[in-house]
Amino acid sequence: MRTTWDFTGARVLVAGAGGIGAVVAGGFAGAGAAVVVLDVDEGRAAQVTASAGPGSVKGLCADLTSADACRDAVDSAVRLLGGIDVFVHAVGVNDRRPVLDTPDEVWERITAVNLDSAFWLGRAVGGVMVAAGYGRIVYLSSVSGLLAHPDHAPYAATKGGVDQLMRVMAREWAACGVTVNAVAPGYTETDLTREYLAGPGVRASLEALVPAGRLGRPADLTGPVLFLASDAAAFVTGQVLYVDGGRTLV
Protein backbone atom coordinates (compact mmCIF):
# COMPACT_ATOMS: atom_id res chain seq x y z
CA MET A 1 0.00 0.00 0.00
CA ARG A 2 1.30 3.45 -0.89
CA THR A 3 2.42 5.49 2.10
CA THR A 4 0.35 8.66 2.41
CA TRP A 5 1.75 10.11 5.62
CA ASP A 6 5.32 10.95 6.59
CA PHE A 7 6.13 10.27 10.25
CA THR A 8 9.91 10.31 9.88
CA GLY A 9 11.39 11.00 13.30
CA ALA A 10 8.09 10.61 15.16
CA ARG A 11 8.04 8.58 18.36
CA VAL A 12 4.93 6.42 18.58
CA LEU A 13 3.57 4.28 21.41
CA VAL A 14 0.82 1.77 20.57
CA ALA A 15 -0.97 -0.10 23.36
CA GLY A 16 -2.31 -3.39 22.01
CA ALA A 17 -0.49 -5.68 19.59
CA GLY A 18 -3.50 -7.62 18.31
CA GLY A 19 -5.54 -6.96 15.19
CA ILE A 20 -5.99 -3.22 14.71
CA GLY A 21 -3.09 -2.29 16.99
CA ALA A 22 -0.67 -4.47 15.03
CA VAL A 23 -1.71 -3.04 11.68
CA VAL A 24 -1.62 0.54 12.95
CA ALA A 25 1.85 0.00 14.44
CA GLY A 26 3.03 -1.31 11.07
CA GLY A 27 1.48 1.71 9.36
CA PHE A 28 3.42 4.13 11.53
CA ALA A 29 6.64 2.15 11.07
CA GLY A 30 6.11 2.12 7.32
CA ALA A 31 5.70 5.89 7.40
CA GLY A 32 9.08 6.32 9.09
CA ALA A 33 8.21 6.41 12.80
CA ALA A 34 10.00 4.71 15.66
CA VAL A 35 7.35 2.57 17.36
CA VAL A 36 6.98 0.80 20.68
CA VAL A 37 4.12 -1.69 21.11
CA LEU A 38 2.73 -2.70 24.51
CA ASP A 39 0.90 -5.98 25.03
CA VAL A 40 0.28 -8.44 27.84
CA ASP A 41 1.15 -11.26 25.42
CA GLU A 42 4.92 -11.23 24.88
CA GLY A 43 4.63 -13.50 21.85
CA ARG A 44 2.09 -11.22 20.16
CA ALA A 45 4.27 -8.17 20.73
CA ALA A 46 7.26 -10.05 19.33
CA GLN A 47 5.25 -11.03 16.25
CA VAL A 48 4.45 -7.38 15.50
CA THR A 49 8.11 -6.50 15.97
CA ALA A 50 9.24 -9.24 13.59
CA SER A 51 6.68 -8.46 10.89
CA ALA A 52 7.51 -4.75 10.84
CA GLY A 53 11.17 -5.29 9.96
CA PRO A 54 14.42 -4.84 11.89
CA GLY A 55 14.64 -1.86 14.22
CA SER A 56 11.38 -0.13 13.32
CA VAL A 57 9.17 -1.55 16.11
CA LYS A 58 10.11 -2.58 19.62
CA GLY A 59 7.82 -4.66 21.83
CA LEU A 60 7.24 -4.37 25.57
CA CYS A 61 5.33 -6.92 27.62
CA ALA A 62 3.02 -5.24 30.12
CA ASP A 63 -0.17 -6.09 32.01
CA LEU A 64 -2.07 -2.81 31.66
CA THR A 65 -4.74 -3.52 34.28
CA SER A 66 -3.00 -1.64 37.10
CA ALA A 67 -2.04 2.02 37.43
CA ASP A 68 1.55 1.21 38.41
CA ALA A 69 2.04 -1.11 35.45
CA CYS A 70 0.74 1.54 33.07
CA ARG A 71 3.05 4.19 34.51
CA ASP A 72 6.00 1.81 34.32
CA ALA A 73 5.17 0.90 30.71
CA VAL A 74 5.04 4.55 29.64
CA ASP A 75 8.31 5.26 31.47
CA SER A 76 9.94 2.34 29.65
CA ALA A 77 8.62 3.56 26.29
CA VAL A 78 9.97 7.05 26.96
CA ARG A 79 13.39 5.60 27.71
CA LEU A 80 13.34 3.55 24.49
CA LEU A 81 12.02 6.32 22.25
CA GLY A 82 13.42 9.43 23.92
CA GLY A 83 9.88 10.82 24.25
CA ILE A 84 6.38 10.20 22.89
CA ASP A 85 4.81 12.22 20.08
CA VAL A 86 1.90 9.89 19.30
CA PHE A 87 -0.03 7.49 21.50
CA VAL A 88 -2.63 5.01 20.22
CA HIS A 89 -4.76 3.04 22.66
CA ALA A 90 -5.93 -0.12 20.87
CA VAL A 91 -6.63 -2.36 23.86
CA GLY A 92 -9.98 -4.09 24.14
CA VAL A 93 -11.79 -7.26 25.20
CA ASN A 94 -15.44 -8.25 24.98
CA ASP A 95 -17.73 -10.92 26.41
CA ARG A 96 -21.14 -11.14 24.74
CA ARG A 97 -23.97 -12.03 27.14
CA PRO A 98 -27.14 -10.38 28.45
CA VAL A 99 -26.91 -7.96 31.38
CA LEU A 100 -28.72 -10.38 33.71
CA ASP A 101 -26.21 -13.11 32.85
CA THR A 102 -23.11 -10.96 33.32
CA PRO A 103 -21.17 -11.89 36.49
CA ASP A 104 -19.19 -9.36 38.49
CA GLU A 105 -15.84 -10.70 37.37
CA VAL A 106 -16.70 -10.21 33.68
CA TRP A 107 -17.69 -6.59 34.29
CA GLU A 108 -14.53 -5.98 36.31
CA ARG A 109 -12.21 -7.58 33.75
CA ILE A 110 -13.67 -5.68 30.78
CA THR A 111 -13.67 -2.32 32.55
CA ALA A 112 -10.11 -2.86 33.78
CA VAL A 113 -8.76 -3.74 30.34
CA ASN A 114 -10.78 -1.33 28.21
CA LEU A 115 -11.39 1.73 30.37
CA ASP A 116 -9.00 1.72 33.32
CA SER A 117 -6.00 1.25 31.02
CA ALA A 118 -7.29 4.07 28.80
CA PHE A 119 -7.25 6.43 31.79
CA TRP A 120 -3.99 5.29 33.34
CA LEU A 121 -2.01 5.17 30.08
CA GLY A 122 -3.60 8.39 28.78
CA ARG A 123 -2.79 10.22 32.01
CA ALA A 124 0.84 9.07 31.95
CA VAL A 125 1.31 9.86 28.26
CA GLY A 126 -0.55 13.15 28.63
CA GLY A 127 1.91 14.26 31.29
CA VAL A 128 4.81 13.65 28.90
CA MET A 129 3.09 15.44 26.02
CA VAL A 130 1.85 18.45 28.01
CA ALA A 131 5.38 19.00 29.33
CA ALA A 132 6.73 18.81 25.77
CA GLY A 133 4.04 21.11 24.36
CA TYR A 134 3.06 18.66 21.63
CA GLY A 135 1.24 15.36 21.27
CA ARG A 136 -1.32 13.31 19.41
CA ILE A 137 -3.49 10.78 21.24
CA VAL A 138 -5.90 8.45 19.41
CA TYR A 139 -8.20 6.02 21.20
CA LEU A 140 -9.81 3.04 19.51
CA SER A 141 -13.47 3.33 20.45
CA SER A 142 -16.39 1.50 18.80
CA VAL A 143 -19.81 2.06 17.33
CA SER A 144 -20.93 0.24 20.50
CA GLY A 145 -20.17 3.46 22.38
CA LEU A 146 -23.10 5.02 20.50
CA LEU A 147 -25.44 2.16 19.53
CA ALA A 148 -27.28 -0.03 22.04
CA HIS A 149 -26.23 -3.50 20.88
CA PRO A 150 -27.71 -6.28 23.01
CA ASP A 151 -25.28 -8.54 24.87
CA HIS A 152 -22.62 -5.80 24.91
CA ALA A 153 -23.27 -3.95 28.19
CA PRO A 154 -19.75 -3.90 29.74
CA TYR A 155 -18.04 -3.38 26.38
CA ALA A 156 -20.44 -0.63 25.31
CA ALA A 157 -20.11 1.09 28.68
CA THR A 158 -16.33 1.13 28.43
CA LYS A 159 -16.35 2.49 24.89
CA GLY A 160 -18.83 5.19 25.82
CA GLY A 161 -16.56 5.96 28.75
CA VAL A 162 -13.53 6.16 26.48
CA ASP A 163 -15.35 8.65 24.24
CA GLN A 164 -16.12 10.95 27.17
CA LEU A 165 -12.68 10.50 28.75
CA MET A 166 -11.16 11.48 25.42
CA ARG A 167 -13.28 14.65 25.24
CA VAL A 168 -12.25 15.79 28.72
CA MET A 169 -8.58 15.16 27.98
CA ALA A 170 -8.96 17.08 24.71
CA ARG A 171 -10.53 20.02 26.54
CA GLU A 172 -7.87 20.11 29.24
CA TRP A 173 -4.84 19.73 26.99
CA ALA A 174 -5.81 21.66 23.83
CA ALA A 175 -3.92 24.80 24.86
CA CYS A 176 -0.79 22.68 25.42
CA GLY A 177 -0.53 21.52 21.81
CA VAL A 178 -1.99 18.07 22.54
CA THR A 179 -4.92 16.73 20.54
CA VAL A 180 -7.01 13.79 21.73
CA ASN A 181 -9.44 11.99 19.41
CA ALA A 182 -11.04 8.58 18.92
CA VAL A 183 -11.59 6.30 15.95
CA ALA A 184 -14.72 4.16 16.28
CA PRO A 185 -14.74 1.04 14.09
CA GLY A 186 -17.88 -0.77 13.10
CA TYR A 187 -17.95 -4.55 12.90
CA THR A 188 -14.34 -5.45 12.13
CA GLU A 189 -12.69 -8.80 11.54
CA THR A 190 -10.11 -9.19 14.31
CA ASP A 191 -9.06 -11.75 16.91
CA LEU A 192 -11.68 -10.19 19.18
CA THR A 193 -14.51 -10.98 16.76
CA ARG A 194 -13.30 -14.07 14.87
CA GLU A 195 -15.01 -16.71 16.99
CA TYR A 196 -18.26 -14.74 17.14
CA LEU A 197 -18.32 -14.18 13.37
CA ALA A 198 -17.90 -17.92 12.80
CA GLY A 199 -21.30 -18.61 14.38
CA PRO A 200 -24.16 -19.75 12.13
CA GLY A 201 -25.57 -16.81 10.19
CA VAL A 202 -23.72 -14.19 12.25
CA ARG A 203 -21.56 -12.78 9.47
CA ALA A 204 -24.45 -12.44 7.03
CA SER A 205 -26.69 -10.78 9.62
CA LEU A 206 -24.04 -8.21 10.51
CA GLU A 207 -23.13 -7.49 6.89
CA ALA A 208 -26.81 -6.78 6.25
CA LEU A 209 -26.63 -3.92 8.76
CA VAL A 210 -23.71 -2.20 7.00
CA PRO A 211 -24.58 -0.01 3.99
CA ALA A 212 -21.14 -0.74 2.49
CA GLY A 213 -22.12 -4.42 2.39
CA ARG A 214 -19.08 -5.81 4.17
CA LEU A 215 -17.36 -5.94 7.52
CA GLY A 216 -14.37 -3.78 8.30
CA ARG A 217 -10.75 -4.88 8.20
CA PRO A 218 -7.91 -3.66 10.46
CA ALA A 219 -6.30 -1.96 7.46
CA ASP A 220 -9.41 0.24 7.13
CA LEU A 221 -8.44 1.90 10.41
CA THR A 222 -4.82 2.73 9.56
CA GLY A 223 -5.48 5.81 7.41
CA PRO A 224 -7.93 7.43 9.85
CA VAL A 225 -5.58 6.86 12.81
CA LEU A 226 -2.56 8.22 10.94
CA PHE A 227 -4.57 11.24 9.82
CA LEU A 228 -5.58 12.11 13.39
CA ALA A 229 -1.96 11.65 14.49
CA SER A 230 -0.63 13.91 11.74
CA ASP A 231 -0.14 17.67 11.62
CA ALA A 232 -2.92 17.76 9.00
CA ALA A 233 -5.28 17.22 11.96
CA ALA A 234 -3.67 19.80 14.25
CA PHE A 235 -7.00 21.63 14.73
CA VAL A 236 -9.07 18.47 15.23
CA THR A 237 -9.55 17.48 18.86
CA GLY A 238 -12.24 15.89 21.01
CA GLN A 239 -13.84 14.10 18.05
CA VAL A 240 -15.05 10.55 17.45
CA LEU A 241 -14.43 9.48 13.84
CA TYR A 242 -16.71 6.59 12.87
CA VAL A 243 -15.08 4.14 10.46
CA ASP A 244 -17.99 1.78 10.02
CA GLY A 245 -19.05 1.49 6.38
CA GLY A 246 -22.13 3.52 7.26
CA ARG A 247 -23.31 1.32 10.17
CA THR A 248 -24.23 4.31 12.34
CA LEU A 249 -26.42 5.72 9.55
CA VAL A 250 -29.06 3.02 9.88
Q: Decide if 229 is inside a domain.
A: yes
Q: Decide if 2 is inside a domain.
A: no
Domain containing 146 equals 11-100+123-249
Q: Decide if 215 is inside a domain.
A: yes
> Mean pLDDT for each 10-residue chunk of the chain (250 residues)?
77 94 94 95 86 79 95 98 98 95 98 98 98 98 94 96 98 98 90 79 89 90 96 97 93
Q: Decide if 110 is inside a domain.
A: no
Q: Decide if 58 is inside a domain.
A: yes
The catalytically annotated residue of 134, 139, 155, 196 is 155
Q: CA geometry: angle at 11 spanning 6 and 12, to 5°?
A: 90
Q: Decide if 94 is inside a domain.
A: yes
Work out the widest C-alpha separation in the chain, in whole angstroms.
52
- What is the total count of domains within the chain? 1
Reply yes or no on whether 139 is catalytic.
no
Distances (CA, A) of 210 to 15, 96, 182, 237: 28, 20, 20, 27
Q: Decide if 5 is inside a domain.
A: no
| Predicted model pTM | 0.94
H/E segment holding residue 34:
strand 34-39
Q: Decide if 117 is inside a domain.
A: no
Domain harbouring 87, CATH code:
3.40.50.720
pLDDT of residue 1: 41
* CA atoms of 83 and 10, how far apart (whole Å): 9
